[in-house]
Amino acid sequence: MPERHIAEAGPTDVRLEELVRRVAASAKHGQVAEALIRRVGARELAVRPTLKEAVKATQRKLHQVGTAYSPGRVRYADWLARLRAARDEGDDAFRAACLQTMRLHASTRERLPILARFFQEILADLAPVRSVIDVACGLGPLAIPWMPLGPGATYHACDVYEDLAGFLQGYLPLAGVRGLADARDVISNPPAEEAQVALVLKFLPCAEQLEGGASLALLDALRCTHLLVSFPAASLGGRDKGMTEQYEATFREMIAERPWQVQRQAYAEELAFLVTKGRVPRGTPGGLEIELGH
């Protein structure tokens, strides 16, 4: 799917280039994929009276959809070294190290009480899963040891952070999958390859904050037979404001005109839907090319 272009502030806009430079120079957002900074910044420049206000608004939006969920101090090199050492000690040690690391990210931490059941129950009818695209993944790929993946499964993890992608590229071989991790703005540039399952876990509310209507466009664009879509059961502050009921109603209304099959699985921590889109048409471009050893 081609990247969308914002007419109000195109790529040659001097103000947009300055906004991208300022946001990318900040400690909190320096690792964010430039495509996302550029798209959010272009939209903010179109509605803000000054560059300074557009920069602040862009940073605020990036915080809402990403930084708020991340750990305060990121030590990816240390985490990867710990995971490699644990891998050498055996499966139990590796799982323990994965759990320890997942506790550092708000979204994956919330899933830990149900982790042993979550993927096994929802993906039971699809097991063994052969290929996965993990959209806006965060530290979600560290749950691979709990997923019903088949031998030789492929796993494409994508998020907006360059340093996170680098960490996951080193982690995926440890998890026993043929993996690829990259940093991208999945709304304007979703993965193009085919896969059996796409994981879209607790991301759609963030997608709508970035751009109204982005959720359905993303689900349509993902060339996967099945979509595992989930929503948080409470806010980051732990407050339940009838969120699951609201999310379910909105989600079902959004996909009402699609000929998709939907299975619902509810937990106290998370509301999940396994959506079956059907086969991807033959003869369309795609196919995950994975380079190992990185």
Residues 15-42 have pLDDT tens digits of 999 999 999 888 788 788 788 898 888 8
How far is Cα 103 from Cα 118, in angstroms, rounded to an integer?
Answer: 16
Enumerate residues 6+ apart whose C-beta is below 8 A from 205. Answer: 231, 232, 247
Which CA distances in Å does 27 have to 22, 23, 24, 59, 132? Answer: 10, 9, 8, 11, 32
Per residue in 121-157, pLDDT tens?
A: 999 999 999 999 999 999 999 999 999 999 999 999 9
Q: How many residues are present in the chain? A: 294
Helix-helix angle 51-65:34-47, to 10 degrees: 130
The whole-number pLDDT of residue 113 equals 94
Averaged over 107-124, what is the pLDDT?
Answer: 94
Task: Answer yes or no: is pLDDT of 282 > 50.
Answer: no
Position with higher pLDDT, 225 vs 233: 225
Q: In terms of C-beta density within 10 A (0-12 exposed, 13-18 middle, 19 or more buried), how is residue 287 classed?
A: exposed
Task: Answer yes or no: is pLDDT of 222 > 60.
Answer: yes
Please report, rounded to a whole number, the percentage of residues in the chain having pLDDT higher than 70: 85
Write down the pTM of the prediction. 0.82
The whole-number pLDDT of residue 263 equals 96
Quickly state the pLDDT bin for 13 (edges 50, 70, 90).
confident
The whole-number pLDDT of residue 154 equals 98
Find out whether 28 and 163 touch, Cβ atoms under 8 Å: no
